[in-house]
Amino acid sequence: MSHSGVAFARWQAHVNRAAVPAFLRGWLTDQASLTVKLQRHCGQFRVQRLAQGHAACLADERAALRLPRRLQVHAREVLLRCDGRPVVYAHTVVPLSAGADWPFFRGLGERSLGTTLFGDPRVGRGKLEYALLRPRHPLVRRAGAALGQTFAGPLPARRCLYRRGRGLLLVTELFLPAIAQLHSQPRDGLQLLNAA
């Protein structure tokens, strides 16, 4: 496969066309905030910000953002950690021209992006897309770099386009192997108390 092919994934509108493991389909297709879902499945949730600033738009994201060519974007990279374990690597991009439509984006720090997207009536949400990202996909390589490891196999991922005013924002979430260790059911208050 050409190098450019490595940079692209086959994003599917239906999760069963993306060949992701069956046990992860609930995680990938849940329409609610991933932050809220993860918080219900662990004792301590943390957004670890890896980087945020101007960056070249990835080829795989350029088309989704309808950018005419590989322009600079405002990019944010985080690891979502449950009880210290990294379970999601997330990459969010906003065209520089759309900065004014996402006033909260720059100052997020380690607050979850989800808390600002799902609470804002002006934010419209597109449909989720799904893919199995190969080990050489740029986002898999970045997730590996963040964790000081390389992934031998593909990672299940989803992405979603958000709109606010005239601005677009694209969130891509890669589900890391440790997500399999999370409780399959939300932990109730008693369990959390016992775990304390």
The binding site for substrate consists of: 76, 113, 173
Q: Does 90 bind ligand ISJ (CB under 6 A)?
A: yes
Q: Which residue stretch of 7-15, 27-35, 58-66, 185-193 sits at the interface with ligand ISJ (rule: CB under 6 A)?
A: 27-35
| Per-residue CA distances from 61 to 65, 74, 148 (Å) | 6, 12, 24
Would you count residue 58 as binding ligand ISJ (CB under 6 A)? no
Q: Which residue lies nearest ligand ISJ, judged by its C-beta? A: 114
Binding mask 152-171 for ligand ISJ (x = CB under 6 A): -------------------x
Instruction: Single out the residue of 60, 87, 112, 155 in contact with ligand ISJ (rule: CB under 6 A).
Output: 112
How far is residue 104's CA from residue 101's CA, in Å, rounded to a whole number?
A: 9
Give yes or no for residue 86 binding ligand ISJ (CB under 6 A).
Answer: no
Chain residues binding ligand ISJ by CB under 6 A are 33-35, 47, 76, 78, 80, 88, 90, 92, 112-114, 117, 171, 173
